[in-house]
């Protein structure tokens, strides 16, 4: 391979497609991952994650000789950090992966290099990494460029969005911003928006917090409407006829690795100031708890009326419709919670996008809907729309399957 111009650190859902795209543009990429299986899979021209068109992109990039994976970084001109940023026990952001990735490349840095963080990060992370780098290599101060550039692709459409989405690019100084913009211009056709590193970091957190707050509004409405005897789906449809109102749809909570996580990065740092953002997280978490309580109440009412335990179909585990991703999924939490007080009634757990689960015994959605006394829609998967339900079956629809 040509000597690498770019080193990407982290070959997951974001780092791998980004690496393939850069390599496809004729820029040699050395992709680094601490997971040997990932490295071996990529070097064989294959992929370890599910993402349309990624297999072809990686196969071509590896075959062309422009993309190679390794467990260790090598010297390059540009370093791209795309490692996980989860939260710790108390919802505190964990930037230890970003720090480990940065430490790994400090010995390789030279004058003129560009260092970019793409991992979703708390405000100030890029500056922290700059301080770390200069504490170990003080002679590089003012001689390298450092920037933050968040990723906002939609899983399932990553190969398209990586190229076409607008990007926000924030350097620690103007020269860093310009250098990072020139880097992305090589393979991004969306608009590039310059700013500083702290604003770019906050921009990513703001985007997902905005979604969380708006969903919390819909979820709060759904609980109010339940008490008031109003169909929330009809209510939202009607309210949205207002030319300047656009309320989102309620669900059984909020999940996934972005919207349910990123707002905590703001709350942890600015707890007194982030009152709506913190409250939205509480409301969305509470919605899942509320749904579990509704199931419990319906079960008790059935027992009293029929003198036996009901069969209950729990429809969906994923964090949103038509995917197989269960990360932070409120439906999974609800299922775990209601199973805690399972007696001899039978629960049928359904997730049409997964064949087998390590913990839950899964049932085909048609069979579950046929035999259940209570059908609980937790996720609006397309398979559930149009299922025929008899008069004797009670339906708890937390996600609008029967109302869309």
Ligand X SMILES: NC(=O)c1ccc[n+]([C@@H]2O[C@H](COP(=O)([O-])OP(=O)(O)OC[C@H]3O[C@@H](n4cnc5c(N)ncnc54)[C@H](O)[C@@H]3O)[C@@H](O)[C@H]2O)c1
CB of 299 to ligand X, least distance (A): 36
For residue 299, CA distances in Å to 337, 345, 395 come to 14, 9, 12
Question: Which segment (94-102, 133-141, 363-371, 395-403) binds ligand X by CB under 6 A?
Answer: 94-102
Reply yes or no on whether 225 is catalytic: no
User: Parallel, antiparallel, or unpaired: how do β-strands 374-377 and 394-397 relate?
Assistant: parallel
Q: Which residue is nearest to ligand X (CB)?
A: 12
Active-site hit among 68, 179, 252, 258: 258
CB of 169 to ligand X, least distance (A): 15
CB of 203 to ligand X, least distance (A): 12
The one among 155, 253, 316, 352 contacting ligand X by CB under 6 A: 155
Reply yes or no on whether 258 is catalytic: yes
212/233 Cα distance (integer angstroms): 19
Size of interface with ligand X, in residues (CB under 6 A): 25
Asked if residue 156 binds ligand X (CB under 6 A), the reply is: no
Asked if residue 21 binds ligand X (CB under 6 A), the reply is: no
The one among 6, 22, 27, 32 contacting ligand X by CB under 6 A: 32
Nearer to ligand X, 108 or 395 (CB): 108
Asked if residue 10 binds ligand X (CB under 6 A), the reply is: yes
Nearer to ligand X, 97 or 398 (CB): 97
The one among 12, 45, 156, 194 contacting ligand X by CB under 6 A: 12
Nearer to ligand X, 253 or 256 (CB): 256
256/51 Cα distance (integer angstroms): 16
Which parts of 117-146 interact with ligand X (CB under 6 A)? 119-120
Nearer to ligand X, 83 or 376 (CB): 83
x-or-dash string of contact with ligand X, 58-87, rule CB under 6 A: ------------------------xxxx--
Active-site hit among 179, 204, 294, 332: 204
Q: Which of 13, 16, 31, 25 is nearest to 67 (CA)?
A: 31
Active-site residues, by number, are: 204, 258
**Residues of the shown chain interacting with ligand X in the complex, contacts defined by CB under 6 A:** 9-15, 32-35, 38, 82-85, 97, 100-101, 119-120, 151, 153, 155, 258
């Amino acid at each position: 391979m040509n000597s690498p111009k770019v080193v990407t650190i982290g070959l997951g859902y974001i780092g791998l497609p980004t690496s393939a795209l850069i390599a496809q543009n004729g820029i040699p990429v050395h992709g680094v991952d601490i997971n040997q299986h990932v490295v071996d899979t990529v070097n064989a021209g294959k992929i370890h994650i599910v993402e349309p068109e990624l297999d072809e992109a990686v196969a071509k990039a590896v075959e062309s000789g422009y993309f190679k994976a390794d467990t260790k970084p090598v010297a390059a001109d540009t370093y791209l950090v795309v490692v996980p940023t989860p939260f710790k026990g108390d919802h505190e952001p964990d930037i230890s992966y970003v720090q480990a990735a940065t430490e790994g490349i400090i010995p390789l840095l030279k004058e003129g290099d560009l260092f970019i963080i793409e991992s979703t990060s708390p405000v100030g992370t890029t500056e922290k990494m700059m301080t770390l780098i200069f504490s170990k290599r003080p002679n590089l101060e003012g001689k390298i460029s450092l920037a933050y550039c968040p990723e906002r692709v939609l899983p399932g459409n990553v190969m398209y969005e990586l190229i076409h989405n607008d990007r926000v690019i924030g350097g620690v100084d103007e020269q860093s911003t310009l250098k990072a913009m020139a880097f992305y211009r090589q393979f991004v056709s969306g608009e590039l928006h310059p700013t500083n590193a702290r604003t770019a970091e906050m921009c990513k957190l703001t985007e997902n917090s905005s979604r969380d707050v708006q969903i919390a509004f819909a979820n709060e409405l759904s609980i109010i409407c339940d008490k008031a005897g109003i169909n929330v789906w009809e209510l939202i449809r009607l309210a949205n006829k207002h030319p300047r109102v656009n309320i989102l749809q309620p669900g059984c909570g909020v999940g996934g690795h972005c919207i349910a996580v990123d707002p905590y990065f703001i709350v942890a740092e600015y707890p007194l100031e982030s009152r709506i953002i913190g409250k939205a997280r509480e409301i969305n978490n509470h919605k899942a708890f509320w749904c579990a309580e509704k199931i419990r109440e319906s079960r008790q009412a059935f027992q009293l009326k029929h003198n036996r335990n009901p069969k209950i179909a729990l429809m969906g585990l994923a964090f949103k419709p038509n995917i197989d991703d269960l990360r932070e999924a409120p439906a999974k939490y609800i299922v775990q919670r209601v199973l805690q007080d399972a007696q001899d009634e039978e629960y049928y757990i359904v997730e049409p996008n997964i064949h087998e689960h390590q913990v839950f015994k899964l049932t085909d959605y048609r069979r579950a809907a046929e035999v259940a006394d209570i059908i609980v829609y937790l996720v609006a998967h397309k398979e559930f729309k149009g299922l025929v339900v008899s008069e004797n079956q009670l339906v708890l629809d937390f996600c609008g399957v029967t109302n869309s």
